[in-house]
Amino acid sequence: MKKLSHYDAAGAARMVDVSGKAATRRTARAHAFVHIPAAVLRKLPRNPKGNPLEIARIAGIAAAKRTAELIPLCHTLPLSHADVDVRMEKGGVRIEASAATSGPTGVEMEALTAATVAALTVYDMTKALDKSIEIGEIYLLEKTGGKSGVFHRQPEGRRKSKT
């Protein structure tokens, strides 16, 4: 089993020192799904709070830029790109977030944070219509760059890594 790098020899949590790692282009894409009843989905275009999909998109981008403030051991990264795609489909709202940097560590947490905050924003914008809306299926779709190479999530949760 691989050793977790966020712990020192005594088992205390620590921020990983990435100062010796080469800066390379790194990207990540993450996914979230907000399960929303059909009756609520039909009302989204007329939401009195504004367009929940566009507000969720902007919230996700803002969250990606602030990941290090939310996750205690994450490094502050200069993002060269962050975007969130939010679309309605049968059963709810699908969210895909992406992030990129040229740096010594990856952007998986930034993409995951963007997808999660976008999903939370959809909930916030629609909770007055139905508080039973569920957020789920938050996961990494892919990542590139760095020592661990490329990761692509396989359908039905099968994972595959390539180095």
Nearest alpha carbon to residue 147 among 111, 105, 110: 105
Backbone angles phi, psi at 12, to 5 degrees: -80, 145
pLDDT per residue of the chain (163 residues) written in tens, 0 to 9: 566 566 666 666 666 767 777 788 999 999 999 999 999 998 887 877 778 999 999 999 999 999 999 998 888 999 999 999 999 999 999 999 999 999 888 899 999 999 999 999 999 999 988 999 999 999 999 999 988 889 999 876 544 444 4
Nearest alpha carbon to residue 106 among 33, 5, 8, 11: 5
Nearest alpha carbon to residue 40 among 95, 87, 91, 84: 91
Which residues in 14-153 belong to E strands, given as ranges?
24-35, 79-89, 92-103, 134-144, 150-153
What residues act catalytically? 124
Nearest alpha carbon to residue 67 among 101, 23, 34: 101
H/E element holding 124?
helix 108-126
* pLDDT at position 159: 46
What does the alpha-carbon distance between residue 122 and residue 54 come to, in Å, rounded to a whole number?
Answer: 9
Length of the chain: 163
Contact 126, 134 (CB under 8 A): no
Determine whether domain 24-146 maps to CATH 3.40.50.300.
no
DSSP 13: B
So where are the chain's domains? 24-146
Angle at CA 133, nearest 5°, toward 127 and 135?
Answer: 115
| Strand, helix or coil for residue 39 | helix
